[in-house]
Amino acid sequence: MTILIAVLGDQLTHDLASLGGVDRSDAVVLMMEVGDETTYVRHHKRKIALVLSAMRHFAQELRDRGWMVDYVRLDAPDNSGSFTGEIVRAAKRHRPASIRIVEPGEWRVHTAIQRWAELCAIPVEVLPDDRFICGILEFQTWAQARNELTMEYFYRDMRRKTGLLMNAAGKPEGGQWNLDKDNRAPPRRGTTYPQPQHFPPDEITREVLDMVAGRFAEHFGRLENFGLPVTAAQAREALAHFVRTALPDFGTYQDAMVTGQDWLYHSWLSPALNLGLLTPLEVAQAAADAYARGDVPLNAAEGFIRQIIGWREYVRGYYWLEMPAVAQANALDAARPLPEFYWTGETEMLCMAEAIRNTRDNGYAHHIQRLMVLGNFAMLAGVRPQEVADWFLAVYVDAYEWVELPNVIGMSQHADGGRLATKPYAGGGAYINRMSDHCATCRYDVKQKVGPDACPFNALYWDFLARHERRFRRNRRMVQMYANWDRMDPAQRDAYRSSASAHLETLQPAAAGWAH
């Protein structure tokens, strides 16, 4: 009895649960390139190229391993344009006894799958995605036992569960769970930085690049110099390259920003991880092994592993716990439209212009650029969180709603009212100046507090605290900021607020049509 196994574009893992325990001679693997997935937001061109190229490579590998693959191409004349449309058509083509699929990464697709059994009149089996270290139900049980969803405690549980960086006595390696205090060094100057490994496009990728350049010409972002890993073998090479060249300094300079340096010591492994070309456990294990060999210091291995088995697993659990309501959350009542320069990069704020250039050229910005520059500015300016979320979902090669939405709504915009992060990630120019070399050559003066030449982050920061005083004044972690505000001369407070208003008035809203 034939089984139809649907494999989605971010499920490109050979030991995917749905591919296990099946007689290959009696199964058809269905992979679908569909218009809906390429345009539910107008993804960065590079992301579309990556996903479709990786899907085509994976299909080829499945065939080489003896699977029968029914691959629906985007340019097929009878392509229905949606997963559901293609499932119905495939059910008619193959007349399977049942359909199997691993639970999808996104709520939109989860909702669509609920209708498949009825539409196809056959059973649909949805299997847990065991590539994640923490299951969805496991996270829900963990969360139910707590008032606050503190990432640090979740992370410790994941360390215990995986045994990563744990000693024989069941204690954290080195005696501490978290070495973040060692990981806040400003950028190292006068040095060369490692670069991610570049994989020249093969014939499959070149064909996809040509198609994307034509069909998605209006989408944001550049395709030039495409060199992302598109197979599991390449992704493993990229992982080894990162461990060798960048991981040793990953921890120390994790929060640094340098003009013209797009990756610093970051891994740029999120695209491969989120597609399933790498699993979180193998990536974290590679860092732990490097530490065990003495190749990298503990603060690097711990800091990196925390991002993978801590933050990445935590935001995925949070997504499924809080959806669908969290997508509309707007606890700070932010109503401003997204400024146009997020799409054009045309701003005199050098930190913003640099992060947006990196985003346009590579579909990348590292965590501190996303959080403390792009996200911080939007929150301080009071931009509507759903517009911010649409932007982040559209412009990054690694963006999938399960990981993007918690990071935007919860971590960077505080729009969930503090469910994910107890304190808003807000900062003025001084923070960016400490962690980057941008301010030295910016048209604005980071040391000036108010006026047309002052760094806009300075006034916007105090204006944000003043606007949300009732919400944040009693927050234990913000007592010091409000004490500083209280000590300020009232004329200084007024000057901050009018300087912020003057800057906000200069912001041009983005024209419709960039994201949707």
Binding site for ligand FAD (CB under 6 A): 266-270, 273-274, 304, 307-308, 311-312, 315, 366-367, 370-371, 375, 392, 396, 398-399, 403-404, 407-408, 411-412
457 scored as a contact of ligand SF4 (CB under 6 A): yes
With respect to ligand FAD, which residue has the nearer C-beta, 219 or 312? 312
Give, as ranges, the residues between 36 and 95 that touch ligand DLZ (CB under 6 A). Answer: 37-38, 43, 48, 51
Residues 6+ apart with CB under 8 A from 409: 326, 327, 329, 385, 389, 415, 416
Output the smallest distance, CB 117 to ligand DLZ, in A.
18
Output the smallest distance, CB 9 to ligand SF4, in A.
36
- From the list ligand FAD, ligand DLZ, ligand SF4, none, which binds 268 (C-beta under 5 to 8 Å, kind-based)? ligand FAD
446 scored as a contact of ligand SF4 (CB under 6 A): yes
- Of 3, 4, 5, 10, the one binding ligand DLZ (CB under 6 A) is 10
Q: Which of 199-235 are b and which e, b meaning 16 or more Cβ less than 10 Å from the residue's Cβ?
A: bebeebbeebbebbeeebeebbbebeebbbbbbbebb
Interface segment toward ligand SF4; rule CB under 6 A; list 118-126, 262-270, 436-444, 494-502: 436-444
CA distance 211 to 48: 10
CB-based contact 277:54 (threshold 8 Å)? yes
Distance of CA 131 to the CA centre of its chain: 17
209 scored as a contact of ligand DLZ (CB under 6 A): no
Report the candidate in 384, 227, 411, 253 with the shortest Cα–Cα distance to residue 319. Answer: 411
Three-state DSSP class for residue 332: coil
What's the DSSP call for residue 41? Answer: T
Report the candidate in 53, 52, 358 with the shortest Cα–Cα distance to residue 196. Answer: 358
With respect to ligand FAD, which residue has the nearer C-beta, 370 or 503? 370
Q: What is the residue whose two structure tokens read 């691959």?
A: 71
349 scored as a contact of ligand SF4 (CB under 6 A): yes
Q: What is the residue whose two structure tokens read 């399977």?
A: 96
Interface segment toward ligand DLZ; rule CB under 6 A; list 22-30, 31-39, 182-190, 295-303: 31-39
371 scored as a contact of ligand SF4 (CB under 6 A): no
Angle at 76 between CA 72 and CA 81, to 5 degrees: 75
455 scored as a contact of ligand SF4 (CB under 6 A): yes
- Of 350, 435, 478, 481, the one binding ligand SF4 (CB under 6 A) is 350
Interface segment toward ligand DLZ; rule CB under 6 A; list 26-34, 243-251, 341-349, 458-466: 26-34
CA distance 250 to 366: 12
Interface residues toward ligand SF4, by CB under 6 A = 349-351, 429, 432-433, 438-439, 442, 444, 446, 455-457
